[in-house]
Amino acid sequence: AAMGKRLRVFLIASSLLLVLVSAGCNGGTSAPNVSIALQPGVSQEMDEAQSVAISANLSNDTGNKGVSWDLNGPGTLSNNTTISVTYHAPATVNATTTATVTATSVTNTRVSAQLAITIHPSPQVATTSLPDGSLNTAYSATLQASEGTGAYAWNVTSGSLPAWASLDAKTGVISGTPDVSGTANFSVAVTDDAGIASDDQALSLTVRGFSVSSTSLPDGVVGVPYAAELAANGGVEPYSWSVSAGTLPSW
């Protein structure tokens, strides 16, 4: 009888072992080796209020189940499908910020891909005034911009530059040599790589007329130290003086 009990216990334990081994074999199938590639890639820069379409290309996706989409950060997602989604940046941002869109495989949830999106405020013209120019003196001033994405392109949106001046659209440099005095009023705007234009910025460029106001000098006395100060009107100080004709006395 004792031997019969031991035999029954052994048989029960053996059966349990067989069940465990069988379960381990059936449940050990590895998940499909899915891979995900996102377009437009792993990073993207854009301005506020812009949108970008994102697509997911999958390989080894059993049953073509595609991906699920998730957003971390500002903005919204729309038009969700198993292979694409559209990201919308916030209408306005006060400073450059980031958002991350994640695509996770439905077939194998351990596999995902991310697109990091950098959102910039719209470009702005930072220059609010221009230095005065001087008649017949080479002039150069560089317009400044802030925010936006990538390189800038400049243009005059209303009014016009003085006839003697030109604007380099890539560098924002206004240059030339003034041949007339006066003030020109115009507005400029800057556009960034994303194609977003700034608001217009009104500017004035003044060229000051220039002349020597001294028309005579006091007489001198032999043996007595002499000094007289020349004066000029207009232009941009400080002045530089030179003798343009004739010569000063040898002393």
* DSSP-assigned letters across all residues of the chain: -HHHHHHHHHHHHHHHHHHHHHHHHHH-PPPP--EEEEES-SEEEEETT-EEEEEEEEES-GGG--EEEEEESSSEEES--SSEEEEE--S--SS-EEEEEEEEESS-TT-EEEEEEEEEPPPEE-------EETTS-EEEE--EESSSS--EEEEEEE---TTEEE-TTT-EEEE---S-EEEEEEEEEE-TTSPBPPPEEEEEEEE-EEE---------TTS-------EEES-SSP-----SS-----
pLDDT at 30: 65
Q: What is the pTM for the complete model shown?
A: 0.66
Q: Which parts of the chain register pLDDT below 70?
A: 1-30, 235-236
